[in-house]
Amino acid sequence: MSYHEKKDYDRAIADDSKAIELNPNNPDYWKSRGVSYHEKKDYDRAIADKSKAIELNPNNPDYWYSRSLSYRAKGDVARADADLAKAKELGWK
């Protein structure tokens, strides 16, 4: 997280990738790496990682909201709106 806070997204991605290698079933690692990809404007990778987080824990509204941001940034408004609706359904405010 410290690399992300420093906007050193390449190092953040490297650390998250290592964490995923060690524990691929932790959705937070996938979401974290997805956020870094998003910041680098690599929206396809961001969406893929955030989708994996959702696959591992579909009841976390933050994952749905985060993926909605990447879809919106990519210009896919329909999917962004659908993810935002799901996030709200799960309790995101």
Look at the alpha carbons of 63, 64, 69, 75 in this order and tell me if their dihedral is positive or negative.
positive
Tens-level pLDDT at each residue, the chain (93 residues): 578 889 999 999 999 999 999 999 999 999 999 999 999 999 999 999 999 999 999 999 999 999 999 999 999 999 999 999 999 999 998
Task: Return the closest-CA partner of residue 34 out of 57, 8, 5, 63.
Answer: 63
Q: Distance between CA atoms of 70 and 20, rounded to whole angstroms?
A: 20
Q: Which domains does the chain have, with CATH numbers?
A: 2-89 (1.25.40.10)
Dihedrals phi, psi of 47, to nearest 5 degrees? -65, -40
